[in-house]
Amino acid sequence: MAEFDYDLFVIGAGSGGVRASRVSAALGARVAVAEESALGGTCVNRGCVPKKLFVHAAQFRDDFEDAAGFGWSLGSRSFYWSTLIANKDREIARLNGIYRDLLIDAGVDLIEAHARVQDAHTLEVGGRMITAAHILIATGSEPSMPNVPGIEFAMTSDQVFQLAELPRRIAIVGGGYIATEFAGIFHALGVTTTQLYRGPLFLRGFDDDVRSFLASEMRARGVDLRFAADVESIEKVAGGLRVRLANDSVLEADAILYATGRIPRTRSIGLEQAGVALDETGAVRVDRLSRSSVPSIWAIGDATHRINLTPVAIHEGICVAKTLFAGVDTPPDHTGVPSAVFSQPPIGTVGPSEAAARDLYGEIDVYRSTFRALKDTLTGREERTLMKLIVERASGRVIAAHMVGAEAGEIIQGFAVALKCGATKAQFDATLGIHPTSAEEFVTMRDPV
């Protein structure tokens, strides 16, 4: 491939692009990556990492309140938003440096500039032309804002991490995991929080028991959840912002966060002019190997709008590197992908919802348990935990596990391994639980509902 400047040129130094670059370089390829923003992409800078730090900050509210039941006496306490922001920024800067070091140590050329595809093998990068045998699109996604009068007064999830001060009242518009997570965060930090969603129940695509259970728990905590609530307009008024809903009701807030979906960040890098087929959302259409309609141009992660999760983008990046430079066609495996929603309480899930499982497998058995965690027997907290297993009746194989409750993500990660290995309900039943834990409930449910 000596006729090209590089064997692989990657646009985007997020988690997927960086991993694809490093693995390709380790396999002997000459690699460059272009990034016009902060290294690490959405996850590190405006997504998973800072959001989880905010979740940790929010959880201290419960810890302080629960301490009294265990004999602790706490004095007055105060929360300083500016301290959280400053400490978050310092950690993100540290991670940016780590990503830079990873690329340099791997021998990848980092070009901090905007890259635009000119044709199948040529890019314009920071004012100069560069050629590559293969081009990988790893540009991620960006928030999508609806055309609502006054939308300019709202912020997106990209902006919320730099909010100058904590509002007294916030309206969060959206029913996905981002909106739901921020509703829990702001409420726990003492903000009067309203979440608005135009549909009948939030978290579409998740198991129905999980969705309704979480809604009940969030309302019990004091979050104002309003479903079938369609925003008609936003206006600036004395003392804040006014949201007018389709049912003519009015809500006033100091800040409005729109989290109504994300779209692939693909429109300004020359893909269509180069002949790359995009779908109606702007996602790159790819085959099973992540190759686009132009054979030398590939795409991974949120830019393809398959499963928009950081570990999935990393996995897809590794697969592309192996396909191109290890000589082995390696399609990514999108089955059995576990995920978590860091709501309060959190969700952990792997496998299809009950409704989807019935469509996919026909006859199934469902095991479900709700209980009050041991810790809360002394705190006075009435919060409950939900656990659910879905089993294919014919084979006895466990095809899904869902949980709402403390440490749900940590617990489901382990059970995702079992499901990936094809574990059966009989094997779950034969596994001894660790007592007393919440996780043991997954191996002690005996009777289907």
Neighbours of 13 (CB within 10 A): 30
The DSSP secondary structure of 85-127, one letter per residue, reads HHHHHHHHHHHHHHHHHHHHHTTPEEE-S-EEEEETTEEEETT
* DSSP state letters, 286-310: --TTSB-SSTTEEE-GGGGTSS--H
> What percent of the chain shows pLDDT beyond 90?
99
Whether the predicted pLDDT of 46 surpasses 80: yes
Which domains are present in the chain? 6-142+263-325 (3.50.50.60), 151-260 (3.50.50.60), 345-443 (3.30.390.30)
> pLDDT tens digit string along 71-108?
999 899 999 999 999 999 999 999 999 999 999 999 99
Cα torsion 33, 129, 264, 172 to 10°: value is: 80
CA distances to 10, 39, 128, 140, 293 from 15, rounded to whole Å, are 12, 9, 26, 10, 24
421 phi/psi in degrees, rounded to 5: -85, 0
Q: Band of the pLDDT at 139, cuts 50, 70, 90?
A: very high
Q: What is the pLDDT of residues 11-36, one digit of tens each?
A: 999 999 999 999 999 999 999 999 99
C-alpha triplet 320, 326, 332: angle, nearest 5°: 30
pTM value is 0.96
Specify which residues 341 forms β-bridges with: 347
Residue 1 has pLDDT above 80, yes or no: no
Catalytic residue among 114, 134, 305, 435: 435
Determine how β-strand 297-299 pairs with β-strand 128-137.
parallel
Angle, helix 48-67 to helix 81-105, in steps of 10 degrees: 140
Dihedral pair phi/psi, residue 255, rounded to 5° = -150, 150
Q: What are phi and psi of 282, to 5 degrees?
A: 95, 0
Nearest to 199 by CA among 187, 210, 211: 211
Q: In this predicted model, what pLDDT tens digit does every residue of 358-413 receive, in sequence order? A: 999 999 999 999 999 999 999 999 999 999 999 999 999 999 999 999 999 999 99
Q: How many CA atoms lie within 13 A of 412 on its CB side?
A: 28
Is there a catalytic annotation at residue 134? no
Mean pLDDT of 144-172: 96
Phi (first) and psi of residue 156, to 5 degrees: -110, 175
Q: How far apart are CA 193 and CA 183, in angstroms?
A: 6
**What distance in Å separates the CA atoms of residue 161 and residue 165, rounded to the nearest whole number?**
10
Tokens linked to 368: 């479900």
